[in-house]
Amino acid sequence: MNPKVLIVEDDAKISNLIKLYLEREHYETLQAYGGKEAQELYVRHVPCLIILDLMLPGMSGEEFCQWVKNENVPEDPAVIMLSAKARTEEKINGLKIGADDYMTKPFSPEELMAHVEAVLRRTGRLCQKIVHEGLVIKPRKGEVLLHGEEIELTTYEFNMLYLLMENPGQVFTREHLMDHIHPHADADIFPRTIDAHVKKLRRKIEEKPGNPQRIVTVRGMGYKFVGE
């Protein structure tokens, strides 16, 4: 799944230039030329990143950013502000209201792409939720829902579940999972520790923990998540 990026820019030439560079890097793009249109596209598509001009018709970029970051709006995308407003206090205000990054115009498209990659690395890989038969994981918010009810996972359980759900059908050895969730573990921590994490995780996300349908054991190899 390619990361989905919403470009909110009222200058069509600039918007199309950003779109061109994003699509070269295999991002999926959406374009809005004003705040109201951006709201509609956001709710319909829920992008993981927004590139946001501040001087927009009808609704300012600052107002749109505040709306996006409001807890009543679904998800929590990353935001890169891209504006001709170059004063230090304007940059600080943009970051305070929720922007993850701030770039000034004129800008280099290559530099913008570098910022896009950096922000997405920092804010959580694809940023988009993964859904499978009532189980939802939201990496940006660190939430897991089962049939609409939030369930509490440890950091180890969350990281393991996200890795497995992000790669459905792929078998992960205990050693691979160990390296992923315990990257700085002492050598005397045995990979069978993973079995304990899996057992606890199954109790929380499986309908029948004794007969798991989501995280299954591949005998002699490890574990995989069953899903599309």
Domain CATH for 204: 1.10.10.10
pLDDT at 74: 59
Q: Are residues 95 and 138 in the same domain?
A: no
Q: Are residues 142 and 213 in the same domain?
A: yes
Q: What is the pLDDT of residues 183-212, one digit of tens each?
A: 655 555 566 788 999 999 999 999 888 889
Tokens matching residue 5: 């990026």
pLDDT at 58: 86
pLDDT at 73: 64
Q: Are residues 29 and 52 in the same domain?
A: yes
pLDDT at 24: 92
Q: Are residues 60 and 167 in the same domain?
A: no
Amino acid at 188: D
Name the band, by pLDDT with cuts 50, 70 and 90, for residue 221.
Answer: very high
* Nearest in space to 143 (alpha carbons), one of 213, 67, 74, 207: 74
The count of other CB atoms within 10 Å of the CB of residue 54 is 22
Q: What is the DSSP letter of 21?
A: H
What is the rounded average pLDDT of the residues 38-44? 89
Mean pLDDT over each residue of the chain, to the nearest integer: 87
Tokens matching residue 1: 């799944």
More confident residue, 117 or 76: 117
Buried b or exposed e, range 91-111, using 16+ CB within 10 angstroms: bebbeebbbbbbbeeebeeee
Q: What is the pLDDT of residues 48-102, one digit of tens each?
A: 899 999 999 989 999 999 998 875 565 678 899 999 988 999 999 999 998 999 9
pLDDT at 128: 63
> Helices H, strands E: what count in the chain?
8, 12
Q: What is the pLDDT of residues 132-182, one digit of tens each?
A: 888 988 876 778 999 989 999 998 899 899 889 988 999 999 888 888 776
pLDDT at 48: 84
Q: Are residues 24 and 50 in the same domain?
A: yes
* Nearest in space to 27 (alpha carbons), one of 161, 105, 128: 128
pLDDT at 152: 94
More confident residue, 105 or 70: 105
The count of other CB atoms within 10 Å of the CB of residue 218 is 11
Q: Which of the listed residues 65, 90, 123 is the one where a domain comes to its end? A: 123
Q: Are residues 61 and 112 in the same domain?
A: yes
Q: Are residues 56 and 117 in the same domain?
A: yes
Q: Which of the listed residues 105, 123, 141 is the one where a domain comes to its end? A: 123
Q: Are residues 12 and 113 in the same domain?
A: yes
Q: Are residues 8 and 95 in the same domain?
A: yes
| Residue linked to tokens 């190899």 | 221
Q: Which domain holds residue 164?
A: 130-225
CA gap 110, 132 in Å, rounded: 36
Name the band, by pLDDT with cuts 50, 70 and 90, for residue 26.
Answer: confident
Q: Are residues 8 and 73 in the same domain?
A: yes
State how many domains the chain has: 2
Q: Which of the listed residues 73, 108, 123 is the one where a domain comes to its end? A: 123
CB-based contact 51:27 (threshold 8 Å): no
CA gap 210, 131 in Å, rounded: 22
pLDDT above 90: residue 108: yes
Q: Are residues 39 and 57 in the same domain?
A: yes
pLDDT at 10: 95
CA gap 129, 138 in Å, rounded: 4
pLDDT at 129: 73
Domain CATH for 20: 3.40.50.2300
Q: Are residues 89 and 14 in the same domain?
A: yes
pLDDT above 60: residue 126: no
